[in-house]
Structure formats: structure tokens, C-alpha cells
């Protein structure tokens, strides 16, 4: 597995890997993570992957983290 890029954006850790003819984009926030796999053949240049941490897609990732966090906190409170 090759690390393509790692950085933080709006407190979310974003890691991009190349493995098994796929790009793996992993978003981490606290105890939660989201992972997406994209075939390398669908990407012309690695810079094309920037659409996944800019704009509407990243907004949806943040929203999903908010929903995940609410569900997680609710369950932890019921332990």
C-alpha cells in the first residue's frame, strides 16, 4: 500500500492510499471513520482526487460524521 497523501482539513484526517489498483480515501474524526474506494482507471491524475475533499462531497462526509457522532453518543449514554 502506497501513501499518496495525508493531511487534516476542518479537524478531519484525510488519508489517500493506492492499493490493489484502487485509490482508498479514508476520513477520520475521533473514533469514527469513513472509507471510499475508487478504481485507479477512473482517475486520470492524482490531482483529480481533490474533488473528494472539496465541495459537495466533503460537505456530505461532514454531515455523515455529525450523524454518526450523534448515534454513537446516544448509544454510549445508554450503556
**Cα–Cα distance measured from residue 3 to residue 69, given in angstroms and rounded to the nearest whole number:** 27
pLDDT in tens, 32-52: 999 999 999 999 999 999 999
Check: CB of residue 23 under 8 Å from CB of residue 17.
Answer: yes
pLDDT band at 78 (very low <50, low <70, confident <90, very high): confident
The residues spanned by each domain of the chain are 2-77
Higher pLDDT pick, 59 / 78? 59
* C-alpha cell at position 66: 455529525
List, in sequence order, the alpha helices (H) in the chain.
56-77
pLDDT in tens, 49-58: 999 999 999 9
pLDDT per residue as tens digits for the range 8-20? 999 999 999 999 9
For residue 62, is pLDDT > 90?
yes
Cell of 30: 475521533
Residue that wins the pLDDT comparison between 78 and 14: 14
Amino acid at each position: 500500500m502506497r501513501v499518496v497523501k495525508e493531511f487534516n482539513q476542518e479537524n478531519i484526517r484525510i488519508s489517500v492510499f493506492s492499493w490493489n489498483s484502487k485509490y482508498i480515501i479514508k476520513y477520520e474524526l475521533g473514533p469514527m471513520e469513513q472509507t471510499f474506494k475508487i478504481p485507479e482507471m477512473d482517475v486520470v491524475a492524482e490531482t483529480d482526487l481533490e474533488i473528494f475533499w472539496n465541495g459537495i462531497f466533503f460537505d456530505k462526509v461532514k454531515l455523515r460524521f455529525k450523524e454518526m457522532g450523534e448515534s454513537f453518543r446516544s448509544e454510549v449514554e445508554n450503556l
